[in-house]
Structures are given as C-alpha cells and as structure tokens.
Amino acid sequence: MPDNPPELHSESSKRPSSFVWRASWEHRKRLLRVEVWVLVVCSYVLLIFAYAWPADFRNTATAHVAAAWSAAILRTFMFHGGILLAVVGAVVAFARSWRLLAAITPLLLVTLVPSVLSYWPWKGGDVQGETLTVMSVNLLMVNHNTAPIIQEIKAARPDILLLQEYTKHWHEALQLEIGADFPHVSYVTREDSFGAAVYSRRPFVERPNRHVPLGEATEPQIRITIEFNGSKVALYNVHLLPPWGLAYTIEHRSQFADLLDILAADPLPVIVGGDFNFTENSANAAALSKVGLADAHSVGGWGRGTTWPVSSFFRWIPSIRLDHIYLGNGLTCAECRTGTGTGSDHRPVVAKIGFSRSTD
C-alpha cells in the first residue's frame, strides 16, 4: 500500500504550484506597475524635451540637428503616443490605480484633447467681400493615373491651383483637360519629386518668380502676384525637402529658415501653400505663427485635416498633416477641407480665403 493515498498526493502536489503561481502573478503585477510608471515618467521627459529644444533653424551642428530632428519626430507623432497612453490609462483605470491615472491624465490632455476638440462645431473666419478658392495638390510624380485628381480639381473649381511633383506627363494631361480654364500658368516640370506649377484664373500682375531662393537647393519654389478685392496678394507654392537623413534635414531646416525670413518681410497679404513636410504641431508651424501667419485649417477646418499617407501599408495607421495653406497680413479662411487625392500619396487641401472684417 503506498505511503500516501493518490488523492492526498494529488492535493499536496497542487499546493506548491498554486503558491508559486500566486506569488508569480503578484510579482508580475508589481513589475507592470513599475513599468507603467517608467513609461509615464519617460513620456513627460520626452514631451518636455520636444517642446523645450530651441528652434534654431540655421544651426547646422550635427548634434543640434540630430536633437532637433528627434524633437520634431516626437511632436509629429504626439497623437499616436496619446493613443498608446489612452490604452494604458484605460487599463490603469480598470485596475483602480488612481495615482497612476492622475499622472497619465495631463499627458492625455496635451496629446489627445486638441485633436478631439478639432471635431467641435466650428465657424470659419469672418470674411468681407469676395472669396478666393485656393487648392494645393501633391500629384505624386510616379502617378500616371491622372483622371481622378483632374476630376477632383474640376469639382473644387479653384481660382488658384498650387501643384507639387509636377512632371511632363502631368503638364500634358492638365493642359488638355483644364488648360482653357486657367489661362495664367507658371511652371517647372521635373522628372523627380520637385517639379512645381501654379495655375490661375486671374492674371499675374507681376512677373512670376519660379525660383524663390530657399536654402542651397535648386528645386523650384514659385511666387506669383494677383489682384484680389482691390489689393495685390502674393501666393507662394512651396515644397520643402523631406527631413530624411542628416543632409536632407539640414537643407529642410535651411529652406524653412529662408522661407520664414521672406514671409516676414513680404509687405503684401500672403497665401503660402504646398507640401511643407512638417505638421501643425512642429516648431516650424509655431515659428510661422510668431510672424503672423495662420494655418487655414486651424481657422476654417474641421477635424484633424490629415493629408499623408493615403496609400501603401501606412494608410492603416493614423495619418498626419504635411500639406498646408498659410495666410497672413489681413487674410483669413472661411472654409478649409481636405480632398481625396486618388492615385497620389497626399490628400489635396482646398481653402476659401478672403480679407478679414477685423482689418477694417
């Protein structure tokens, strides 16, 4: 006969494993709590760094540029980080860890609440007189399916059309389909990503400048002048280099520094549209605000107004706003929206612009 009956042996064998499991789970919960605290503290440190790093766009020192690029990336994907923190916050609330939840809440207010509030019912700027419809489209130079975007342009009926990644095949297609509607055109075709064009229903009152000097690059950046509501208005079509790699990041910052100086010194009411390769949360956007320019979407838009990406695998993650229309010197926006951009990797931006009544 065995020393221990089978049922007693079975019961005794369960107790140690059960004890180990309970101890392990309690230990794991403590570790998880510590890990969440580390995540929260690191989030505060990174957020402070992202906004405290000085926006010296002319500083080309490698260490400074690398740090500025890191700060820009953090600010670009702040909304995405907020989503992660919201998930963590929900788990923390379920676990009733109130101190942790209190620590996470200010981070959520900074990272998510502005985007949530952008869906609040809005009223655009108060415009006097007529409005000018401006449309900015990154065509995508490898996109040969020209029909959908051309149909979208026809439906939007812009007075001014700002085009980036303007190639020979896009020039031929656009001239065939809408050339008669836009008798005033200034363009540079290129077979890379930096051709540009401005189509206008209104005559140019000054000779267009197709090479506004931004940085050391030779990519076209176009400035035209039209008459609107009895005043001259300057329109810029810009496409800044993407901040990929050290050389491009330095040139992107240099281009923006030159653009900032040019816009601050321009005496005319200005409209600046295009693919800026930075978001509304960036130090670049803050610098434009400091010299008196407003983002048309912030004035007359609704929602996040994201424009990129709309193709490839990345379309499944929350997109960001790289395409903007900025206004200055008395102009405001009655309405701003994003389009579809079928065939491109960017959505177009369409804004109805006029002079603000507050400038009377």
**Domain boundary assignment for the chain:** 6-116, 122-359
**Which pLDDT band, with edges at 50, 70 and 90, does 73 fall under?**
very high
76: Cα separation from own chain's centroid: 7
CATH 3.10.20.440 fits 122-359, yes or no: no
Cα atoms in the Cβ-side hemisphere of radius 13 Å centred on 54:
7
Each residue of 246-263: pLDDT tens digit?
999 999 999 999 999 999
Looking at the DSSP assignment, which residues form a beta bridge with residue 354?
A: 332
For the chain, what percent of residues have pLDDT higher than 90?
84
Q: Is 60 exceeded by the pLDDT of residue 330?
A: yes
- Residue type present at position 207: R
Each residue of 336-346: pLDDT tens digit?
999 999 999 99
The pLDDT score that the predictor gives to residue 239 is: 98
**Which pLDDT band, with edges at 50, 70 and 90, does 357 fall under?**
confident
| DSSP-assigned letter for residue 204 | P
- Residue type present at position 264: A
The pLDDT score that the predictor gives to residue 16 is: 53
The pLDDT score that the predictor gives to residue 125 is: 86
Q: Is 90 exceeded by the pLDDT of residue 182?
A: yes
The pLDDT score that the predictor gives to residue 28 is: 80
pLDDT, average across residues 225-232: 96
Q: How far apart are CA 132 and CA 136, in angstroms?
A: 13
The pLDDT score that the predictor gives to residue 180 is: 97
| Token pair of 84 as six digits | 């992660």
**Which pLDDT band, with edges at 50, 70 and 90, does 8 fall under?**
very low
The pLDDT score that the predictor gives to residue 344 is: 96
Residue-averaged pLDDT of the chain: 92
348 to each of 82, 92, 325, 336, how far by Cα in Å? Answer: 26, 40, 10, 11
The pLDDT score that the predictor gives to residue 23 is: 59
Residue pointed to by tokens 């990336």: 73
User: 44-50, long-range: CB within 8 Å, 24+ apart, which pairs?
Assistant: 44/107, 46/74, 47/74, 47/78, 47/107, 47/110, 47/111, 49/74, 50/74, 50/75, 50/78
Task: Note the pTM of the prediction, 2 decimals.
Answer: 0.90
Q: Are 250 and 65 in contact (CB under 8 A)?
A: yes
Each residue of 238-250: pLDDT tens digit?
999 999 999 999 9
37 to each of 34, 95, 288, how far by Cα in Å? Answer: 5, 14, 36
| Token pair of 239 as six digits | 């496409």
pLDDT, average across residues 174-198: 97
Q: Determine the 3-state secondary structure of 71 from DSSP.
A: helix
Q: Is 70 exceeded by the pLDDT of residue 12?
A: no
Q: Taking every pair of C-alpha atoms in the chain, what is the biggest distance, in angstroms?
A: 111
Q: How far apart are CA 21 and CA 15, in angstroms?
A: 10
- Find the helix or strand (DSSP H, E) in which 161 lies: strand 160-164
The pLDDT score that the predictor gives to residue 24 is: 81
The pLDDT score that the predictor gives to residue 217 is: 80
